[in-house]
Structure formats: structure tokens, C-alpha cells
Structure 1
Amino acid sequence: MARRKTRRSWGRRAFLKTAAGSALGASLTGLAVGKESAAQEVGVEREVIDGITTQRIVQGEPYDLAGKRMVFTNWYYVRPGDLDWINDQGETVYVHGDEAPFAAHFVGVHAPRGIRLMAQKPEVVGPITIPHRGIMEDGGLLRGWTDNEYYESSDGYDWVKKASLTFDKEEITDGVACVFKDPSAPASERYKFVYVSEIGRERFEAFRRKRPDGFEARSLFLLGETDRVTAIRGAFSGDGLNWTALPDPLVCELADTQNIGYYDTVLRKYVIYTRFWSVGPRTDALPPDIRHCWSGVGRRAIGRTESDDFRSFPPSAMMLEPTPDMLPSEVLYTNSRTTVPRAPDHHLMFPAVWNASVTDDTRVALLSSHDGKVWHWVPGGGKLRQTQPFGQWDGGCVWSGTNLVELPDATWALPYYGHNVPHKYPRGQRGGGVGYMLWPKGRLVAVEAPEQGQFSTVAIMAPGRTLKINAVTKRTGSVRVQVERWEWSRKEEKRPYPVQLTPIPGRTFDDAVPIVGDHVWTTLTWKGGSDLGFSAGAPITLSFSLDHAQIFGLEFA
């Protein structure tokens, strides 16, 4: 990749395969083709100090947003606060003073208090008829795929078939799944998907000669019995309808269903989230036995691999394994990676947690990430949706798909799949259906204050001059927002904390028109109007005063 120089002084099977179309919402929604979050773009030459540059990401505030939304699914956008110790004269004695044990006074600086994060339980509709192998929002239109058909919808419920898909059934044996739109590719390869397939021994040996490091051991587990090797394959299309399979595997590894691919516009790399197994290394003291040595002891997990080239990936590395606070019988089955609608840098995952050896049922959980690599379990999201009582259409096991999309009424919808019998029950008479998990008004996760609370954001380069809020309060509660200039402290002030947040005149808490009641993307106002009041090109922070309130998101306009 060519170096670009810039000077920046700021500083399940049919059901489960549906979910594999990650960047269906990630690469498209609210993100123009080829556009990156400039401050985070990899491969750009940045000045660190005068005369020294680097192509590595320079960490620190202010942040850029890849879209115009900010949703608090973790603490990434919330300042942790700072502190000072002062003497009776109000002078800082932080660390270097000589005060007696009770002589200095503590000062919390921009400290977040009285708030917590809480995932919201979804409503569920179903069974309904929707394209079961992936949907996405694209320019105000909802698009969807089955294994061999393409559909469109204006509301997410009434889907109209537009075309049958064409592909080589000898190469793409199970139909189309995992579709994503690649903003970096030429028009002839704009759409892509990844899928699991098998190749014969001769084809594998040819692949191994070209790429001796392109396979992992578990892909060979049936080679001695079937003469076949498991591989992750790729296909491309210029229109999403007519598909061409790549001749060689992307990588040879055992990955099963629901492997989700997308193009990361920040990393400038292709990323695949894969089915994986958490299991330790086998001793060398015994003869090889790849057929039996891992499957009975390995816990299902989630892997990740990335590459500059869609045609060639290294084997996955484990990204997420079952946690110690899960039951010892529970594993991470599918991943359902997606993003917040209109916020492609807000990564989400809705994994299915399978209690294999005790109940053979599943539950859907919620995780979030700011970069797609470091993931957090969202409080309250561990049992976002559980298997329903036996006898219902989703009373055997449940799964989530992709992508999370925004419907015209501001509801966020995630495809949802259920079966009427446990996961590994005999499938000859198995039933089930497809539906949605719904978050009306786009309320997936709240930063909430059960009583009084406060917090400030990190500094950001605001992508708009007005700000909308999605929030709800008790009748006696409120939300007030203050806009602040973000400035470095002068050295002569000798403050232990390096930045100052200075309220912008007319945009203070006292000037704020309080938000009271239920507000869905309502424009914030102050006595002086709705403009945020900052100087062009200057970073800002936002401070919040909450009283019995929940905030579900912000949107710049």
C-alpha cells in the first residue's frame, strides 16, 4: 500500500448461515464508499513531534467519529475523570507536597458519578417471512438475500423478490450467505461473501504448496476418512446477484457455519470472524490423532483473522473464549457481529451461548467494541434473549443473525431465529422460524442515572453543529447538556491534569433547555439556540447532568 503523508497536529445451517453477512450494515450505513475515520486511518504518515513521524495510530483525544452517532455501549467515549490534592490556600500539592495526613483536600475533576450502562431487553416478533441469509440498509432501502434469491423492502416486513441469484453450484454448494459490500473494491467486485466448503486432497496439496502456512490442523480432521479438507472460501459480485467463486480457499480451517466478513475502513483490511475452539496444545509424546484429540474437550469460541487481500487470510486466532463467570458447560457458538446503525465504528456482537452438555439450548448475549478487536460484555446483556418455554416455535434453541438495521419508525431490528427442539435433537421433524429482535426507538443500551448522575465525554471533532438526543426521564427528572472547549492547561499553572474543559458561553448547564420525558432524536437547545457554539475546527467535550434519566444515543447534524 502506498504511503500517504499528512501533517496532523491534533494529534444454523440454513438459519445460522443467514447471520454471516456482517458489514451489511457496517460498511454501508452512514459511510460513503472509501471514507475513513481520518484520525484513525492506518498507513498514513503522522507527525508525533517535530521531525519524527510514524505510520502507527497515534492514540489520544480528540477523537473522530466514522459516522454521526455516538452510542454509549461501553465507557470508550466517557471521560474517566482526574483528581487533585490541594492545600488550604487552594494550591495543588498533588504528589509533591509535604502536608500532614489530614491537611490536604481531595478534588475530583470531571469525575463520572451516579451512572451505569444497561442493555435493554428486546421485543420479539415472529415467526415472519424475511430473507434469512442477511439483510442490510443501503441508501434508505433494505436489501436481503436467501441462499439463491435477492429481495428488497422499504419497511423491513414486506419483502419483494427482485431476482434469482446465479452462481456455480459445484463451487458454491450451499448458496449465498455472508454478503457484505466492499467500499475499497472495483465495481466488478463490490459485493463479497465468505462461506465454508470442502476441497479434495489434490486441491489441498496444490494450495499447501503455494501457501504452506495457510492452513490449521483441525481443517484436516476428516482427511483420513473422506479425503476432504475444510476451507473458508470467498466469492464476489458486481451487483450482488451474479456470483463468482474464487478458485483458491481464503484459508483452510475448520469453521462451521456463520463466519462473518467485512471490510474495515479504519484498518484498511478485510476481517472475518470465525467459529473457533478454545483448547490447549496437545502433547508431542503421543502419536498424532487430529480426528479425536480436540473435539470432545474443546470449547466453542470466536476467532478472528484479517488481511490486506481478500483472496488470502492467515488462520484465525482466538479472539473470545467462554468466560469464567459462564457455566462450565456453556460455549460461544455463533457471533453475529454487526454495528450500531449509522455508526460503523461502534462494533457489536450478539453471540449465541450454547449450554451443550446440560440443556442443549441457547441464549443470545450482547458485546461491544470500539475497534472490533477488544470486546466488552455489556451489563444486562448476558441473557438478552433466552430459549423460550418448550412448545413454542423458539422453545428449543435461539440464535441471532445480521445485521442490526434501523427501520423507518426508528426501531432497531436484528434478525432472530428459533427452533422448537433443542439444538442437537433429531432434526427429521424439527420446526422453527425467523423473526426480529426489536429495540423500539433505537434503544439498545442506556447510560442511566437511577437518581442523580454526571459525566463528560472525551474530546471529539464534532461532525455537525447541532446535536440530537435519544433519551427518556421520569416526570420529575431531566437531562441537561453543557458544551465545552477542550484546551491544554498552561505549564505555569502546574496542574496535575493536562486539559481544561471550559464551558462555551451560552451553552452551559444554566443555559440548557432541559430534556424531560420521552425524546427520540430531539435537537438539544439552549437559551441562545441549537448551534453547539464551537469555533470551526476546534474540538469539544459534552458534559451531562442526569436526574432519573436514561440516554440511548447522540446524533450530530
Structure 2
Amino acid sequence: MKYSAARVEQRFVDSTKELRMKTFLFLDDWMLDSHRDIVRRFPQPKQIPVEPVTEMCSYATVIRDPERACYRSWYNRFLTVKGERVVAKCLAESEDGFHWEPVKLKKPVDRLGHLRSNLVFSGHTSAGEGTLMYDPIDPDPERRYKLTYSDRLGPGQEQLRESSESPASDRSLGLTAYSPDGIHWRIDDDHPFYTVPGGCDTLIMPLFNPVTERYQVVVRPSVLDRRIAIVESPDFLNWTQPLTVLTPDPLDEPFLQFYGMPWFYYEDLFIGLLWDHHINQDELGGVKWSGVIDCELAYSYNGVHWNRTNRQPFIGRTEPGTYGCGSVYPHSLLIDEDDRIRIYSAGLLTDHSIEEPPKGFESIGAMIVHQLRKDGFAYLEPRAGWGTVTMRSVKPRSGEITINFRAPLGQVLVQISDPNRKPIPGYSFEDCIPLTGDELYARPRWKERKDASKLIGEHVRLEFKLFQAELYAVRWDVQPWYGDLPIERI
């Protein structure tokens, strides 16, 4: 059971690969050349009025399972085993993602499976802080599901303890496990992803980064260092040491802490649900336990270099007396069957330091659900009257353009121009058939042009005129350019 001490070279972004982008959101001005009389908005997801699920009151992973055509939730439950608190992962399924039924296993699949019929994993001694990913690209079907979690080594793990880089008194490691079906798990003791002394006291989330072509796990630099770090591996076996990628800065409120950050690959960029820990500054001691947690929006173009948006709550705390009023921990983001963004959170009634429910409540927390329009992390709209937006120059690989917009009482006009912003004949604002209504994938049309296929390989710009309209996203398979040179890295 002794694990390899080998570490991979810290190589996070390959700058030699050609950049190919198909989806452009408007979180910042990176792909814009100019805009006039335009305002950027960051809408908040709306909570869906469904019954909170008190059974799922802690960290969880919710996915739409492509093989079973249903929603699945692996959620943490705290059990007491021989006087010790143990974190175990239980599994529930749902047809709509709102009403859940525990999976009823015919026989136990875990050492503690006799305690709950839907318990699928409890590690060697515990399965703390862990989340998992569904990995369709791994050629080994036995590794279709990948789990990262914190385990505390117990009796019988002497060899593993001796090989740990942590002090003998500290018994925490970040371990991985694999499963072909999300039910039957195999722990990999030989390749821990996190060996920093003390373990990782926050949600641990793996994903595959198609930009770096490596697996990454979001962690902390160390157990109580509340900032955001990542570790990376080419094979889910050999891992880098933590690299800090997000830290509070002078523009933040005093002593803000980043408790954790679930992250997700969203088409051509990465979305982070950054947990802001607003501490009680009067609390004595080096570690601040009391305080409340909410979520702000972060994003990255390569999964390594991260940006924040308006530093306001993206998913804030709920009304007093409801689940989420004390702290809210968003943990899962997916696209539902109606092409909407759905976000699942652990909503607590208390602040971070309190572990017992208030009087009159059976549970300290519950899983709550929010919803957001597809691509709805940000949008552009006119300040008043008409507004114009000009994107950076690109070379198209496809003639098909789609626009995500909302203009029930207004309109959107689309123009394609040359690098000097001279309209290309047939693609001018005057030739454009106005877009109205509310569409996710509207195809702009011109009087004599149905698409941009005649412009494939040309150096062009996309321009918009907006009137009482919200512009959320553009989808177009292109090579971005900056001036006279192609952009070869993000």
C-alpha cells in the first residue's frame, strides 16, 4: 500500500496549441474591441420553490447521468461509529432533480453499508470533503467515476502512514477512488493527490481540463489557509504540489477568506462558485470559526488563472428562518433538460461555527436549488436607447453563428465588418433582419445572406446594435486574433 513519492513537473498551460473557441460570454471585455452606451450586468440565480431536502444537508455531487437518464446525487452523511464521527457518501436518484429517492442496494457495497441501504463509500476511516466527477474520456470503464476525498488513516494503515509526507501525528491524506458505476468503489492508496500536513478542510472537486489536458483538483494551499489552490495530474496518478490561484486582495472587505470553490467546465471557459467566508473579527485565536458564507462568481479561460466579477453575492443567503439564511455552499452546477443552468447548494440555518440546528428544526441544513438562464452569468444591455458592441477580430472556421439574447420589446442587429470596421457587403446592419423575442440559439440572417459561410478563413469582426435587449452569448467556431496576430494561448 506504499504510495509513490513521484511528483510531476509543474506545467499548467501549453502555449503552443492553437486557440479554438466556439462560445463567447460577456463576463469581461477580453473578446471585445469596443462598446458604446453599454452596461454589463451580473444577474443572480433565482431559488426554485421546491421542498428543501434535509437528508442532503452537506457537500454533494449532483449530475445528470447520461447512461441512466436521471439525476444522481452522492451526498455526505455524518455517522457515529464506535464513538467516532465518520463521513460517508450516500446515493440518491431522481427523475426531475427535485424529488429524490435513496438507492436501495440489494447488499452492502461498503464496510459501513449495513448502517444505511444507500451508503456506497466511507473510505478507510472516513470520506471527508470529497466530491466526484463522471469521466467519459477515460478508456478504462473501471475509472468512469473518479472521487477525491480526505481520509484519516486508522488501524491497519501503518505502512501508508509511514510513507506519508505528513508528520506521524497527522493522519490526513487526499486520496482518490474509482468506480465503473458510482456504486462500487476502489481506493487508490498509492497515488495521493494531497499530502500537505493537516489534510484539506474544504470541498475537494476534481475535473478534467481540456486546455491543459490534465486532471485538476481544487484544494487549499494548506488545511487552514483559506485561499484557493489547485493540484494537477496528467493521469490522475501523479500530482503536482498545490499552486495558489485565488487570494483575497486589498479591494475586498477586511479579512475576507475564501473557504472553497467548486468549479465547472462550461463550454469554452471555467466557472467557479467562490465561497466567501465573512468572519467575526472579534473572535480570538488564529483560526476564525464563526462567520457566514455566501458565494460570488469567478471564472477562468484556462482553469489556472482566475478572475472575479463584481464581488457581490452570486448566490446569497436566503430569507431569515429558511435553509440558507445562515450560510450557503453551492456545490453542483449542471444544465437541465430544458437547457437551463441549475445550481445545487447546501443551505444552512446557522453560521460556520454552529453544528446544532436551531430550536424547532430537525436538521441544521438542507439542499436547495437555484436556476439561471443558459449563459446567464452576465449580459450586455444598452444604458439607454441604442447601444453598440464590437467584438475583436477573428477568422471563422464555420459559417454558423448563434446568438443568445432577450429582447421581447426591443431588437438586436448584427453586422460583420472587416478589421477596419468597414461593413462587408451583404452583412451590414441595414441588411440584417432584426432579431426580436427571447432565444438561446438565434441565427442572424441578412436579406441575401443566410449565414457567414462565405467568410470562412477571412479576417472579420462581429458587431451588434442593441435596443431594449440583453446580449448573453455568441457561438461561432473561430480563431481569435489580436491586431495582426492570432491569439495562440488563453
Q: What interval of TM-score do these two structures reach, taking the shorter chain for normalisation?
A: 0.7 to 0.9
Post-superposition CA distance 1:74-120 (Å, at most 9, x none): 223223xxxxxxxxxxxxxxxxxxxxxxxxxxxxxxx3333343210
Give the drift of 1:153: 4.5
Query: Is 1:405–2:334 an aligned residue pair?
Result: yes
Give the alignment's Cα RMSD to 1 decimal.
3.3
Call closer, same or farther: CA 1:410–1:245 in 2, change over 3 Å: same
Q: Secondary structure at the match of 1:188?
A: helix
Matched with 1:374 is 305
2:134 equivalent in structure 1: 181
Aligned to 1:385, the other structure's residue is in SS state coil
Q: Describe the shift of the 1:354–1:422 C-alpha distance in structure 2 as closer, same or farther (beyond 3 A).
A: same
User: What's the TM-score once normalised by structure 2's chain length?
Assistant: 0.75
What amino acid is aligned across from residue 179 of structure 1 in structure 2? L
The TM-score normalised by the length of structure 1 is 0.67
Assess if the C-alpha contact under 8 Å between 2:406 and 2:436 holds in 1. Answer: yes
The answer to whether the aligner puts 1:386 opposite 2:316 as a matched pair is: yes
**Larger helix proportion, structure 1 or 2?**
1
Residues 523 and 373 of structure 1, relative CA distance in 2, 3 Å threshold: same
Aligned: 1:144 with 2:72: yes
CA gap 1:136/1:530 in 2 versus in 1, 3 angstroms: farther
Provide, for residues 435-478 of structure 1, a one-character-per-residue CA deviation record: whole Å limited to 9, x for no partner: 11211455221122223332332344656533332212373x43
**1:120-269 residue pairs with structure 2 within 5 A?**
120-125=43-48, 126-129=50-53, 133-137=60-64, 139=66, 141-147=69-75, 148-159=89-100, 164=105, 166-167=109-110, 169-171=122-124, 173-174=126-127, 177-182=130-135, 183-199=137-153, 202-203=158-159, 206-208=162-164, 215=165, 220=167, 223=168, 227-248=169-190, 249-253=192-196, 254-269=199-214
Kindly state the Cα deviation for residue 330 of structure 1 after the two structures are TM-superposed. 2.0
Alpha-carbon contact 1:260-1:336 (below 8 Å) kept:
yes
| Per-residue deviation, 1:526 | 1.6
Shift of 1:186: 2.2
For residue 163 of structure 2, give the secondary structure of its aligned residue in structure 1.
helix
Q: Kindly state the Cα deviation for residue 149 of structure 1 after the two structures are TM-superposed.
A: 4.6
Deviation at 1:366, TM superposition (A): 0.4
CA distance, structure 1, for counterparts of residue 91 and residue 414 of structure 2: 45
Paired with 2:425 and 2:346, the residues of 1 have a C-alpha distance of: 52
* Residue identity matched to 1:338: F
Distance verdict in 2 for CA 1:533–1:542, change over 3 Å: same
| 2:118 counterpart residue number | none
Measured at CA, do residues 268 and 170 of structure 1 come closer, stay the same or move farther in structure 2, by a change above 3 Å? Answer: closer
Partner SS, residue 32 of structure 2: coil
SS at structure 2 position matched to 1:197: strand
CA distance in 1, matches of 2:447, 2:233: 51
Q: In structure 1, what residue type is equivalent to 2:327?
A: C
From the superposition, tell whether residues 546 and 537 of structure 1 become closer, same or farther in structure 2 (CA, over 3 Å). same
**By how many angstroms is 1:332 displaced?**
0.7
1:483 aligns with 2:416: yes
Give the equivalent residue in structure 1 for 2:271: 348
Q: Verify the 8 A CA contact 1:263 1:270 in the aligned structure 2.
A: yes
Between structure 1 and structure 2, the one with the greater Rg is 1
Kept in 2, the 8 Å contact 1:347–1:370? The answer is yes
| 2:35 partner SS | coil
- Structure 1 CA distance for aligned equivalents of residues 334 and 219 of structure 2: 22
**Which structure 2 residue ranges, 5 or more long, are not aligned?**
1-11, 76-88, 112-121, 282-289, 478-490
Secondary structure of the corresponding residue to residue 454 of structure 2: coil
What are the superposed Cα offsets for residues 256-282 of structure 1, whole Å, 9 maximum, x if unpaired?
A: 1311111112211111111345xxxxx
Q: 1:464 touches 1:556 (CA, 8 Å); kept in 2?
A: yes
Per-residue Cα deviation, 1:209-243 (whole angstroms, up to 9, x for no partner): xxxxxx5xxx54xx4xxx33221110112233221
Residues 246 and 172 of structure 1: is their aligned pair in 2 closer, same or farther, counting only changes over 3 Å?
farther
Distance 1:417 1:401 in 2: 7
- Looking at structure 2, the residues matched to 482 and 135 of structure 1 have their Cα atoms a distance apart, in angstroms, of 41
Correspondence for 2:372 among 421, 439, 449:
439
In the other structure, the counterpart of 2:480 is none
Q: Give the number of the structure whose residues are more often strand, by fraction.
A: 2
| Residue 465 of structure 1: aligned partner | 399
Pick from 390, 405, 425: which aligns with 1:456?
390
Structure 1 runs not aligned, ≥5 long = 1-41, 44-54, 80-110, 209-214, 278-293, 486-498
Shift in alpha-carbon separation, 1:370–1:442, aligned structure 2, 3 A: closer
Q: Letter of the aligned partner of 1:310 in structure 2?
A: F
Counterparts of residues 75-94 of structure 1 (less than 5 Å): 75-79=29-33
Query: Which residue identity is paired with 1:156?
Result: G
User: What is the number of residues matched between the two proteins?
Assistant: 418
CA pair 178-534 structure 1, distance change in 2 beyond 3 A: farther
% identical aligned pairs: 20
Check if 1:322 corresponds to 2:248: yes
Distance 2:64 2:429 in 1: 37
Which residue is 2:16 aligned to?
57
- Paired residues of 2:202 and 2:259 also in contact (CA < 8 A): no
Residues 446, 142 of structure 1: CA spacing in aligned structure 2 closer, same or farther, 3 A cutoff? farther
Aligned to 1:332, the other structure's residue is in SS state strand
